[in-house]
Chain A
Amino acid sequence: MGLILLTVIWLITFFSTYFFAAKTWWLPHGASLATAGIDHQFAVTYVLMGFVFVAAQGALGLFVWQYRDRGSASKVTYSHGNTTMEVVWTALTAILFIGLNLMGSPIWAAERFAPADPGSVPVEVTGMQFAWYFRYPGLDGKFGRTEPKLMDPSAGNEAAVGLDTTDPASKDDVVTGTMYLPVNRQVDLTLRAVDVIHSFFVPQMRFKQDAVPGLAIHMHFTPTEVGEYEIACAELCGLGHYKMHGMLHVVSQEDFDKWVAAREAEKQ
Chain B
Amino acid sequence: MATTATIHAHAAPEGFVRKYIFSLDHKVIGLQYYFLALVAVFVGMFLSLLMRVHMIWPTAVLPLVGEIKPETYLSLLTMHGTIMVFFVLTTAPQGGFGNYFLPIQIGAPDMAFPVLNMLSFWTTFIAFITILAAFFVTGGAPLHGWTGYAPLSALSNSGPGEQLGADLWITSIAIFCVASLMGALNFITTVLDLRARGMTMMRLPLTVWAWFITAILGLLAFGVLLSAGILLLLDRNLGTSFYIPLVVVNGQVMGHKGGSPLLWQHLFWFFGHPEVYIAILPGMGVASQLLSTFSRKPIFGYKAMVYAIMAIGFLGFMVWGHHMFMSGMSPYSAFAFSLMTMAIGVPSAIKTFNWLGTIHGGRVRFQTPMLYAIGFVSLFVSGGLSGPFLAQPVLDIPLHDTAFVVGHFHLIMGVAAIFGMFAGTYYWFPKMFGRMMNETWGKIHFFITLIGTYCIFMPMHYLGMAGQPRRYSQFTELNYLHNLIPLNTFMTYAAIITIAAQFIFLFNLIWSMFKGPKASDNPWESTTLEWTTATPPPHDNFGGHTPVVHHGPYEYSVPGAPKDYIMQTDPVTGASH
Direct A–B touching, Cβ under 8 Å = yes
Chain A interface (Cβ < 8 Å from any Cβ of B): 1-2, 4-5, 8-9, 12, 16, 19-20, 24-28, 34, 37-38, 41-42, 45-46, 49, 52-53, 56-57, 59-60, 63-64, 67-70, 74-83, 85-86, 89-90, 93-94, 97-98, 100-101, 104-105, 107-109, 111-113, 128-129, 148-149, 151-154, 162, 194-197, 199, 201, 203, 206-210, 212-215, 217, 230, 232-243, 245
User: 20 A-B residue contacts at CB 8 Å?
Assistant: A16-B454, A25-B484, A26-B465, A60-B381, A67-B359, A69-B296, A75-B363, A76-B363, A79-B297, A82-B357, A89-B350, A148-B246, A196-B155, A206-B398, A212-B328, A214-B245, A234-B401, A239-B143, A241-B471, A242-B472
Chain B contacts for A89, CB-based, 8 A: 349-350, 353
Chain A contacts for B352, CB-based, 8 A: 56
Chain B contacts for A83, CB-based, 8 A: 301
Q: Is the Cβ of A148 less than 8 Å from the Cβ of B331?
A: no
Q: Is the Cβ of A243 less than 8 Å from the Cβ of B477?
A: yes
Chain A contacts for B335, CB-based, 8 A: 105, 108-109
B535 within 8 Å of A by Cβ?
no
B4 within 8 Å of A by Cβ?
no
Q: Is the Cβ of A208 less than 8 Å from the Cβ of B398?
A: yes
B247 within 8 Å of A by Cβ?
yes
Q: Contacts A100-B388, A196-B155 known; A206 to B397 CB distance under 8 Å?
A: yes
B159 (CB) vs chain A CBs: closest residue: A238
Q: Is the Cβ of A60 less than 8 Å from the Cβ of B155?
A: no
Distance of A170 Cα from B327 Cα, bound (Å):
29
Interface-forming stretch among B185-193, B248-256, B273-281, B513-521?
A: B248-256
Q: Is the Cβ of A210 less than 8 Å from the Cβ of B463?
A: no
Chain B contacts for A64, CB-based, 8 A: 359, 364, 374
Chain B contacts for A38, CB-based, 8 A: 394-395, 397-398
Q: Contacts A97-B343, A210-B326 known; A238 to B158 CB distance under 8 Å?
A: yes
The 8 Å CB contact of B260, one of A49, A149, A214, is A214
B348 (CB) vs chain A CBs: closest residue: A93
Interface-forming stretch among B6-14, B174-182, B543-551, B553-561?
A: B553-561
The 8 Å CB contact of B478, one of A45, A93, A232, is A232
Shortest Cβ distance from residue A176 to the other chain B in the assembled complex, whole angstroms: 19
B214 within 8 Å of A by Cβ?
no
Chain B contacts for A93, CB-based, 8 A: 345-346, 349-350
Q: Is the Cβ of A25 less than 8 Å from the Cβ of B249?
A: no
Closest CB pairs A-B (n = 10): A214-B245, A81-B301, A203-B467, A25-B462, A112-B331, A76-B557, A77-B361, A239-B71, A1-B366, A242-B472
A81 (CB) vs chain B CBs: closest residue: B301
Shortest Cβ distance from residue A106 to the other chain B in the assembled complex, whole angstroms: 9
Chain B contacts for A233, CB-based, 8 A: 469
Q: Is the Cβ of B248 less than 8 Å from the Cβ of A194?
A: yes
A95 (CB) vs chain B CBs: closest residue: B346
Q: Is the Cβ of B296 less than 8 Å from the Cβ of A16?
A: no
Shortest Cβ distance from residue A249 to the other chain B in the assembled complex, whole angstroms: 14
Chain B interface (Cβ < 8 Å from any Cβ of A): 69-71, 74, 143-145, 149, 151-152, 155, 158-160, 244-251, 253, 258-262, 295-304, 326-328, 331-332, 334-335, 338-339, 342-343, 345-346, 349-350, 352-354, 356-357, 359-366, 371, 374, 377-378, 381-382, 385-386, 388-389, 391-395, 397-398, 400-402, 443, 447, 450-451, 454, 458-459, 461-463, 465-467, 469-475, 477-480, 484, 487, 556-559, 564, 576-577
Distance of A67 Cα from B370 Cα, bound (Å):
13
Chain A contacts for B328, CB-based, 8 A: 209-210, 212, 215, 217
The 8 Å CB contact of B467, one of A9, A28, A34, is A28
Distance of A245 Cα from B475 Cα, bound (Å):
12
Chain B contacts for A75, CB-based, 8 A: 363
Among the interface residues A4, A53, A86, A237, which one has the most CB atoms of the partner chain B within 10 A?
A: A86
B297 (CB) vs chain A CBs: closest residue: A76
Q: Is the Cβ of A238 less than 8 Å from the Cβ of B259?
A: no
Chain A contacts for B250, CB-based, 8 A: 129, 153, 195
Q: Is the Cβ of B342 less than 8 Å from the Cβ of A98?
A: yes
Q: Is the Cβ of A49 less than 8 Å from the Cβ of B385?
A: yes
Distance of A63 Cα from B297 Cα, bound (Å):
13
A215 (CB) vs chain B CBs: closest residue: B328
Q: Is the Cβ of B331 less than 8 Å from the Cβ of A113?
A: yes
The 8 Å CB contact of A97, one of B346, B378, B484, is B346
Chain B contacts for A70, CB-based, 8 A: 363
Given contacts A69-B363, A80-B577, A89-B349, 12 further A-B contacts (CB under 8 A): A5-B366, A28-B466, A45-B392, A57-B381, A78-B559, A111-B397, A129-B158, A196-B151, A208-B326, A232-B478, A238-B159, A239-B160
